Chains A and B, each alone.
Chain A
Amino acid sequence: MSSSDGHAQTPRHPQLAGHFDTIGQQDYAARLGMWLFLGTEVLLFAGLFLGYTVYRHFYHETFHHCSRALSIEYGTTNTIILITSSLFVAIAYWAVKVGKKPMALFMLALTILCALAFLFIKYLEYKHKFEVGELPGKWFRAEELMKYPAANMYFTIYFLTTGLHAFHVIVGMTVLAFVMKGIISGRYRPDYYVPVELGALYWHLVDLVWIFLFPLLYLI
Chain B
Amino acid sequence: MTQQSQPSADSPAVYPAVNYLNADRGVKSWLLTLDHKRIAVMYLVSVLVMFLVGGIFAMAIRLELLTPEPTIMGANTYNRMFTLHGVVMIFLFMIPAIPGVFGNFCMPLMLGAKDVAFPKLNLLSLYLYWTGAILAISAMVFGGVDTGWTFYAPYSTTTPMTVFPALLGVFILGFSSILTGLNFIVTIHTLRAPGLTWMRMQLFVWAIYATSIIQVLATPVIGLTVMLVGIEKVGGFGLFDATKGGDPVLFQHFFWFYSHPAVYIMVLPSMGVVSDAIAAFARKNVFGYKMIAYSSLGIAFVGFFAWGHHMFVSGQSPFDNGAFAVISMFVGVFTAIKVFNWVGTLYRGAILVSAPFVYICGFLFFVVFGGMTGIAVATVSLDVHWHDTYFVVAHFHFIMVGAVIMGFLIAIHYWFPKMFGRKYHEGWGLVAASFIVLGFIATFIPQFLVGNAGMPRRYYMYPERFQAMNVASTAGSSLLAFGFIIIAIYLIYALLRGEIAGDNPWNSKGIEWLTTSPPDKHNFPKPIVVTQDPHSYQQPGEEVEHVVI
Contacts and interface: CB of A to CB of B under 8 A. Distances in A.
Task: Specify which of A19, A58, A59 lies most central, judged by the most chain B CB atoms within 10 Å of its CB.
Answer: A19
Given A3-B194, A43-B218, 5 more contacts: A19-B114, A25-B191, A29-B187, A153-B244, A153-B245
B217 interface: yes
Contacts, number: 125
A18 interface: yes
A32 B186 contact: yes
B221 interface: yes
Contacts of A41: 220
15 contacts: A19-B113, A19-B116, A28-B189, A28-B190, A29-B189, A33-B117, A37-B182, A43-B221, A44-B223, A46-B220, A137-B236, A138-B244, A149-B245, A159-B237, A160-B237
Interface stretch (A47-55, A87-95, A106-114): A47-55
A150 interface: yes
A136 B245 contact: no
Interface of B: 113-119, 121, 178, 182-183, 185-187, 189-191, 194, 216-221, 223-225, 228, 231, 235-239, 241, 244-247, 250, 253-254, 526-527, 529, 531, 548
Contacts of B114: 18-19
Contacts of B178: 40
Contacts of B220: 40-41, 43-44, 46-47
A220 interface: no
A148 B471 CA distance: 57
Given A18-B114, A138-B236, A156-B238, A25 B190 contact: yes
A36 interface: yes
Given A2-B194, A47-B221, A152 B245 contact: yes
A98 B374 CA distance: 59
B250 A156 contact: no
Interface of A: 1-5, 17-20, 25, 28-29, 32-33, 36-37, 39-41, 43-44, 46-48, 50-51, 54-55, 58-59, 136-139, 149-150, 152-153, 156, 159-160
Task: Specify which of B113, B115, B117, B228 lies most central, judged by the most chain A CB atoms within 10 Å of its CB.
Answer: B117
Contacts of B237: 136-138, 156, 159-160
A44 B257 CA distance: 12
Given A44-B224, A153-B244, A160-B231, A2 B238 contact: no
A39 B244 contact: no
A40 B118 contact: no
Contacts of B217: 39-40, 43
